[in-house]
Structure 1
């Protein structure tokens, strides 16, 4: 609210500003990627089975990683190092958020004139990361499914019941 007691158009709006992706992404390979809970995490489609997805994550600073199917079976490619699902996750995170933001979030030192996803991935691989805890996979997959449910909604300006906990601002007369 401004000093005059009048709300701006943005303050009256029930929508939040969405930061556009750094570059367009193809959602078929990595339909969900986020920087949350101290990790780069997301859902990566299987290259061999259309009905299977992997929940992959990399912890900030330690680069401990986890990768398992949506049924909590371990990834066969994540033995002793990053699998291709983790590589795809890093690639898509850089497209979504930009290399600077991903590197800063993960606490990766990137150098060179034009750092990219490969630069971030190489810097993490150089540290010999250990396998991390897979316990977060269920939460990440649950958020992904919730995200999909929002995509099925018909565009509308009516409030969503599950979003009612957001505080509202009212003009004081």
Structure 2
């Protein structure tokens, strides 16, 4: 058994490239969606929760107080575009395209190629079901930033099963 299998931490995949968190502070490939939080360009106190479903590309974009994005009417808004761009920086274009089940042309996928491939499938249906869970996960991530540095275990992260008997 290797060392990481005996610890209570999981390996983290390093970002494809370092990214700036000001525009898109939270992005993840989870729950069958590319999803995240995008800062508003016009209001410092507003963020948008955006998501695109894998396979059929149903999308949603709304503010942190559940108001629909004015730009996401039948096509991707600029927030979803920013989310796609930052997901490519975070995970790499190949991984994002594979996760979203996108067949790009003969060339290697890019952020603009991923957005183009999804928008060429016809108008994607709206999907507003993800906003609450995505924003909740973002707030949970922010809460960890407020904790004082410590080497003590965090109770909410104690769900890892023990790998050996403790005497």
Residues 1:47 and 2:41 aligned together: yes
Matched, 1:121 2:104: no
**TM-aligned CA deviation for residue 171 of structure 1:** 5.6
**Structure 2 unmatched ranges of 5 or more:** none
Structure 1 counterpart of 2:154: 160
Whether contact under 8 Å (1:39, 1:106) holds in the other structure is: yes
Aligned residues of 1:65 and 1:129 also touching (Cα < 8 A)? no
2:94 and 2:108 in contact (8 A); partners too: no
Q: Larger Rg: 1 or 2?
A: 1
TM-score normalised by structure 2 residue count: 0.93
Distance 2:45 2:128 in 1: 21
Name 2:83's counterpart in structure 1. Answer: 89
Q: Identify the match of residue 104 of structure 2 among 97, 100, 110.
A: 110
1:99 aligns with 2:93: yes
Give structure 1 regions of 4+ aligned residues with deviation exceeding 6 angstroms.
none
The CA RMSD over aligned residues, in Å, is: 1.7
1:96-146 CA-to-partner distances (Å, cap 9, x unmatched) read: 111111001101111243421011011011112324221220110000000
Alpha-carbon distance between aligned partners in 2 of 1:130 and 1:121, rounded to the nearest angstrom = 12
Greater shift after overlay, 128-137 or 138-147?
Answer: 128-137
Q: Gapped runs of 5+ residues in structure 1?
A: 2-7
